Structure 1
């Protein structure tokens, strides 16, 4: 068998596998449909935690929950699954508010370093930033998790 034929077979084979994974839903991204889904997903992993407020990012890919303990719960869509975390001020390496509605969050945790998050309004971004900085964020009402 000649080398060009072998290369063509490999390229076609890999392309077929990638297409099959994509068409079967393997490249679907998890999105939150609302604050209720975010709260339910968080409660599945942390049943004893009570949230004061739930704030979704503009793209509904991440939810931040302001917890009674003064920490922040995070529900983040990664691939087709959700990552949930409880983050305290001690876990935060850096939090910067840019453009009033965008938070750039860097965590000390090596398994998930954080990211940039855009909120619908500046009040939500300020409350999350204040809580992650060790100050009290004043947003919303109590939600039983």
Structure 2
């Protein structure tokens, strides 16, 4: 068998495998559609926690949950799965607030963080203040 034919067979095989994964739901993206759904998902992993309030991001890819006591619960979407964690000020490497966008970098390498856009400024400020109480809202920077 010639090399060009072998390359073509391999390329077609890879394309068929990728298509099969896609059409069987392998590229499906999860989302958070409501505060209740976010809280329910969070409580699956942390059943002993008591929530005060839930704030969803505008794109439905993350939810931040104010907890009684210390910490903020986070439910994040990664592909078709959910990542849940409890974060507090010592877990934050950097945090900035710019309008209704909170940019967070965590010290933990398992989830570096990201940019989270909220529907309104007050929600973004609440989350930023909960994760970094020293945040200065006058300048919009940590």
- The Cα shift of 1:33 comes to 1.5
TM-score by length of 1: 0.90
Q: Relative contact order (alpha carbons < 8 A, sep ≥ 6): 1 or 2 greater? A: 1
Deviations for 1:29-65, whole angstroms, at most 9, x for unmatched residues? 1101100010000000001111110000000010000
Please give the secondary structure, in 2, of the residue aligned with 1:73: strand
1:85 and 2:75 correspond: no
Q: Any runs of at least 4 consecutive aligned residues in structure 1 with deviations exceeding 2 A, and if so which? A: none
Q: How does 1:97-108 map to 2 (within 5 A)?
A: 97-98=97-98, 100-108=99-107
Unaligned runs of 5+ in 2: 135-142
Q: How does 1:27-42 map to 2 (within 5 A)?
A: 27-42=27-42
Residues 61 and 77 in structure 1, CA contact (< 8 A), matched pair in contact too:
yes
Please give the secondary structure, in 2, of the residue aligned with 1:69: coil
The CA RMSD over aligned residues, in Å, is 0.9
Aligned to 1:50: 50
- The Cα shift of 1:70 comes to 3.1
Please give the secondary structure, in 2, of the residue aligned with 1:117: strand
Aligned to 1:109: 108
TM-score by length of 2: 0.92
